[in-house]
């Protein structure tokens, strides 16, 4: 079976990480995630990230280096995070319940979706380095 990739963006501006609060499915409603989504046929992962962030948050971005482990999901999907630069625009929650910006000190107390908790060490490092 083809492994399909889900991409997620770690966008840090002024020492804060952009997170988006999920509306669905019910078991993830209200939890915060790195925004992103599934890579579609014919797309590179970084193309998909650019498209998802445009669709979900109305921002223009450029994916940089990958961070953290690749997380296996159900149905042959794997989840990857990329450090991502905000090139232009102000993020708006077009698909999520809300967006928020979180510092390294705040991050451990945020209700992240379980998969994204795997990246906490790298996210905190990226925040502290910024």
Q: Is the dihedral of CA 50, 54, 58, 60 positive or negative?
A: positive
Gap between the Cα atoms of 104 and 29, Å rounded: 23
Report in angstroms how near the CB of residue 45 gets to ligand CDP at its nearest: 12
Stretch that binds ligand CDP, among 10-18, 83-91, 98-106, 109-117 (CB under 6 A): 109-117
Distance of CA 113 to the CA centre of its chain: 11
| CB of 37 vs ligand CDP, minimal distance in Å | 3
Strands 16-21 and 98-102: antiparallel
Asked if 37 is part of the footprint of ligand CDP (rule: CB under 6 A), the reply reads yes
Count of residues that interact with ligand CDP, criterion CB under 6 A: 13
Residue 63 or residue 116: which is nearer to ligand CDP going by CB?
116
Give the residue with the Cβ less far from ligand CDP, 73 or 106: 73
CA–CA separation, 57 and 88 (whole Å): 11
Provide the phi-psi class of 25: left if phi over 0, else alpha when psi is between -120 and 50, else beta. beta
Q: Does 93 bind ligand CDP (CB under 6 A)?
A: no
Q: Would you tell me which residues interact with ligand CDP (CB under 6 A)?
A: 6, 8, 28, 33-34, 36-38, 73, 79, 113, 115-116
């Amino acid at each position: 079976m083809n492994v399909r990739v889900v991409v997620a963006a770690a966008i840090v501006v002024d020492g804060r990480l952009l997170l988006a609060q999920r509306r669905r499915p019910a078991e993830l409603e209200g939890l915060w995630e790195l925004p992103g989504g599934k890579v579609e046929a014919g797309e590179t992962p970084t193309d998909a990230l650019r498209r998802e962030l445009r669709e979900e948050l109305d921002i223009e971005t450029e994916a940089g280096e990958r961070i953290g482990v690749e997380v296996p999901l159900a149905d042959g999907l794997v989840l990857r995070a990329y450090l991502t630069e905000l090139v232009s625009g102000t993020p708006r929650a077009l698909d999520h319940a809300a967006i928020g910006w979180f510092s390294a000190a705040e991050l451990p107390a945020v209700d992240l979706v379980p998969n994204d908790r795997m990246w906490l060490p790298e996210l905190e490092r990226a925040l502290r380095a910024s």
